[in-house]
Amino acid sequence: MSKWFGGAVEDSKKSTTKNKNENSESKMRKSKPKKRQVLPDPVYGDVRVTKFVNHLMYDGKKTVSYEIFYSALERVKAKMPNEEKSALEIWKAALENITPQVEVKSRRVGGATFQVPTEIRPDRKESISMKNLIEYARKRGGKSMSEKLSAEIVDAFNSQGGAFKRKEDMHRMAEANRAFAYFRF
């Protein structure tokens, strides 16, 4: 209690702690959010293509993203003419090559923070691989996004490129911290 404020300070502290507890309870979810239904794309009829295009999209311009993606697949087919697979199958194989199986999560135990390796959920695996492919395609030097994306797809198919290196780094980190796997979440 302070002699200048008369006791108002102590009362205000009590009320703020009460409000914090009420707010934290009201912010928690009551149930898991429902998964949104993703429609298949118009050309290939594949849901994964739509998810990829959604990750690729800027400012809600989905038609531009579709154009970039389809022209990138055409360029992939042009770059690999003696491959018997279709461009879509090459893209799917490239995604499989850059999909990580484990990741590290920070876990605080007794004042120390450990990097704990954990398996990745299947939907998160897919999302991470798509985001990595797009991220490293954007970082590439090139004229258009479709050129950069096609080059990254070809590299990922051949187990090369930035996205593949990112997957290898994630696996290397998990392997290095394998000793902390018993701190599972």
What does the DSSP 8-state code read for residue 104? E
Among candidates 105, 146, 147, 144, which has minimal Cα distance to 124? 105
Do the domain assignments include residue 4? no
Q: Is residue 170 part of a domain?
A: yes
* Domain total in the chain: 1
Assess if residue 9 is contained within a domain.
no
* Residue 5, pLDDT score: 47
Q: DSSP code of 162?
A: H
Which pLDDT belongs to residue 185? Answer: 58
Q: Is residue 30 part of a domain?
A: no
CB 97 within 8 A of CB 171: no
Cα separations in angstroms, 176 against 49, 106, 114, 181: 34, 14, 12, 10
Residue 27 lies in a domain: no
pLDDT at 150: 94
Contact 39, 46 (CB under 8 A): no
Looking at residue 77, what is its pLDDT? 93
pLDDT on residue 82: 84
Q: Contact, 153 vs 76, CB < 8 A?
A: yes
pLDDT tens by residue, the chain, 185 residues: 444 445 554 444 444 444 544 455 557 778 988 988 989 999 999 999 999 999 999 999 999 999 999 999 999 999 998 888 899 999 999 999 999 999 999 988 888 898 999 999 999 999 999 999 999 999 998 789 999 999 999 999 999 999 999 999 999 999 999 888 877 75
pTM given for the model: 0.79
For residue 22, is it within any domain? no
Q: Residue 130 burial by CB count (10 A; 0-12/13-18/19+): exposed, middle or buried? A: buried
**24 domain-assigned:** no
Q: Domain with 152 in it: what CATH number?
A: 1.10.455.10
State the first-to-last Cα distance of the chain, in angstroms, to the nearest integer: 43
pLDDT, position 6: 52
Has residue 2 been placed in a domain? no
pLDDT of 182 reads 79
Sorted by sequence, the CB contacts under 8 Å of residue 133 that are 6+ apart come out as 52, 94, 95, 98, 149, 152, 153, 156, 163
Domain that holds residue 100: 38-183
